Amino acid sequence: MPLREPELPAHDARAEAALAAQAANPAMADAQPPSWSAEALWQQLAPELPGISVEVVARAASTNTSLLDRLRQAGGRRAGDSQPCLLVAEHQTQGRGRLGRDWQSSPGRSLTFSLALPLAPCDWSGLSLAVGVALAEALDPDRRIALKWPNDLWIVDAPGRGRKLGGVLIETVAAGALRVAVVGVGLNVLAQQTEGLASGFACLREIDPGIDAPHALAAVALPLVQALKRFEAEGFAPFAERYAARDLLRGQDVVTLGPEPAEGVADGVDERGGLRLLVDGALRTLVSGEVSVRLRNP
């Protein structure tokens, strides 16, 4: 059975106010406690991931950190436990992105969760891209959501232009003979006050005016699990064409930040999910690592 910490009161109402009204009155998101339907989620996921627990907490510093700490600590309720776990935080206070960046989120206005599960792919390359494909397809079959290499989801305003909707952070840790992947996801669901966002702000209400965080989680949880299992069995290959259909950067002038900064034109990704970059007529391939990519003229 799933674990829920703490037990949250349920409600059936979905937020129906328009995006503009929400932005004008942020307190609307907190008017009623969300109904996460943890039992229904567990029933969906258990056949795919036997032994999984589904947990919802009111607050956490970082869902990724919480799950990693459980796996690393010598003591504690789930010490050394490699069973799958889906951990959702209604409010994540110290969310993290790639390269140590902060992830801003607000109670009731964002979806923040992490999924921990043992994985043993032949090649880990391209995993964040596969996760992005699964999330984007589950939330938006009409391709308004694009993928920005290597781990961001954007809402597209024009070819090569848009605003950041969410991100993926994947970390792994050894647990005995196994390696457990912790897949963290942050998505903006409702409008919220933000500061200093170089890539702009987008939210799911722009695509689905009736969506809230629990319904967004219900939409992505099973497709995410299925994508991770397929990646483990087949690698990035089954996701390559689907990623290309949502590739925000392809054909765009970009700047890379990292050990060897460069400017060039993005030319899609290779068979392992590496970013192909044309620099002065020469083709280079970048792996994610410590590399960050920005549109030259967003």
Domains with residue ranges and CATH for the chain? 19-244 (3.30.930.10), 253-295 (2.30.30.100)
Give the pLDDT confidence score for residue 16 in this predicted structure: 31
- pLDDT < 50 stretches in the chain: 1-31, 74-79, 99
Residues with Cβ < 8 Å from 24, sequence gap 6 or more?
none
H-type helices in the chain, by residue range? 19-24, 38-45, 63-72, 127-139, 213-234, 237-244
Give the pLDDT confidence score for residue 107 in this predicted structure: 74
pTM score of the predicted model: 0.85
Distance from C-alpha of 218 to C-alpha of 203, rounded to nearest angstrom: 17
**Mapping DSSP to helix (H, G, I), strand (E, B) and coil, where does residue 19 land?**
helix
Strand order in the sheet with 145-148: 53-60, 85-92, 110-118, 178-188, 161-175, 152-158, 145-148
Residues with Cβ < 8 Å from 109, sequence gap 6 or more?
26, 29, 188, 189, 190, 191, 192, 203, 213
Give the pLDDT confidence score for residue 96 in this predicted structure: 63
Q: What sign results for the dihedral spanned by CA atoms 254, 257, 102, 138?
A: positive
